[in-house]
């Protein structure tokens, strides 16, 4: 059993954001005790630093870095496309590399630098091959909803709608907790705009509503292409910004990641 951090201990972190989907990047060597509880403390937007999740980083023999993602609620996730890009941005800013390999819970992901301006880095990331499941009809808030199961190394349920309803977050929360998804799922509502453009809203497992999602953008684009609503490449518009998804042999995600700040989180008595 690891020993909890003592009051007064300092945890260095980098905060980064990819289209409003924000993460703390922390070396795993600085952690101790209950990693889930520590992540909840760090991600608390009132009494912590605030983030959608923490990418806990450690050395890896097969990649530039190993990234273990813990969501804001303390649950572990296989991967975040945006989080992976934030990790790549940190390595790029420190080491000047143009190609970064990140070992995630969903396998190795390669991020290729496209351009840089100040502390914003735009990458195209190889997100691997999607797995397209069947359609499901699920009742949420008394209404039947049809969606498609997609895996990008993590689970997604993609629902095409005409417009975004005001209470979509409540419906998404009910869908995500259904028995159809024993490990939970990310839920994407998608409005088709054109053959090359879709708009999405995102409810992420372990977080709730987010401003953007890399794997969510990929899942939505894959569902749009597979259903012949659109063709590759697709511009995916989220509240926090736009990303581009193309689907050839693999799915490739292009978008920015910005280094926001570096700092230290101080462990206090009330957080132990």
> Under the phi-then-psi rule, with left for phi > 0, alpha for psi from -120 to 50, and beta for the rest, what region is 172?
alpha
Report percent pLDDT > 70 for the chain: 97
Overall pTM surpassing 0.85 (yes/no)? yes
pLDDT band at 3 (very low <50, low <70, confident <90, very high): low
Q: Rounded distance, CA 121 to CA 117, Å?
A: 7
Report percent pLDDT > 90 for the chain: 90
Query: Which H or E run includes 43?
Result: helix 35-43
Q: DSSP of 217-241, one letter per residue?
A: HHHHHHHHHHTTS--SSEEEEETTE
Q: What is the pLDDT of residue 87?
A: 98
Q: What is the pLDDT of residue 2?
A: 58
Instruction: Report whether pLDDT(172) > 80.
Output: yes
Q: Rounded distance, CA 11 to CA 254, Å?
A: 31
pLDDT in tens, 73-127: 999 999 999 999 999 999 999 999 999 999 999 999 999 999 999 999 999 999 9
How many other CB atoms are found less than 10 A from the CB of residue 178? 15
Domains for the chain: give ranges and CATH numbers. 10-127+257-271 (3.10.310.10), 131-249 (3.10.310.10)
Cα atoms in the 13 Å half-sphere on the side-chain side of 136 = 18
Instruction: Report whether pLDDT(272) > 70.
Output: no
Q: Please, are residues 52 and 71 in contact by the beta-carbon 8 Å criterion? A: yes
Instruction: Report whether pLDDT(270) > 60.
Output: no
Task: Write b or e for each residue in 239-270: b if 16 or more Cβ atoms lie within 10 A of its Cβ, otherwise e.
Answer: ebbbbbbbbeeebbbbbbbbbeeeeebebeee
pLDDT in tens, 173-186: 999 999 999 999 99
pLDDT in tens, 210-224: 999 999 999 999 999
pLDDT band at 225 (very low <50, low <70, confident <90, very high): very high
CA angle 146, 191, 213 (to 5 degrees): 90
pLDDT in tens, 137-153: 999 888 889 999 999 99
Q: What is the pLDDT of residue 147?
A: 97
């Amino acid at each position: 059993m690891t020993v909890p951090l003592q009051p007064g201990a300092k945890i260095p972190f980098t905060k980064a954001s990819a289209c409003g989907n924000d993460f703390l990047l922390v070396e795993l060597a600085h952690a101790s005790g209950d990693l889930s509880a520590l992540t909840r403390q760090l991600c608390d937007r009132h009494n912590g630093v605030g983030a959608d999740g923490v990418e806990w980083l450690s050395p890896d023999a097969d990649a530039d870095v190993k990234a273990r993602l813990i969501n804001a609620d303390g649950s572990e996730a296989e991967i975040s496309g945006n989080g992976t890009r934030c990790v790549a941005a940190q390595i790029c800013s420190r080491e000047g590399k143009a190609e970064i390999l990140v070992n995630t819970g969903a396998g190795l992901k390669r991020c290729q630098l496209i351009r840089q301006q100040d502390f914003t880095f735009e990458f195209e990331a190889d997100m691997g091959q999607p797995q397209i499941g069947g359609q499901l009809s699920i009742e949420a808030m008394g209404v039947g909803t049809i969606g498609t199961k997609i895996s990008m190394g993590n689970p997604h349920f993609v629902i095409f709608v005409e417009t975004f309803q005001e209470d979509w977050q409540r419906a998404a929360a009910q869908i995500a907790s259904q028995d159809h998804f024993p490990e939970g799922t990310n839920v994407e509502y998608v409005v088709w705009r054109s053959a090359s453009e879709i708009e999405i809203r995102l409810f992420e497992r372990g977080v709730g509503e987010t401003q953007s999602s890399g794997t969510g953008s990929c899942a939505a684009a894959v569902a749009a292409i597979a259903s012949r609503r659109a063709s590759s490449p697709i511009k995916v518009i989220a509240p926090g910004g736009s990303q581009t998804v193309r689907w050839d042999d693999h799915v490739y995600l292009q978008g920015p990641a910005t280094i926001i700040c570096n700092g230290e989180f101080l462990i206090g008595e009330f957080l132990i």
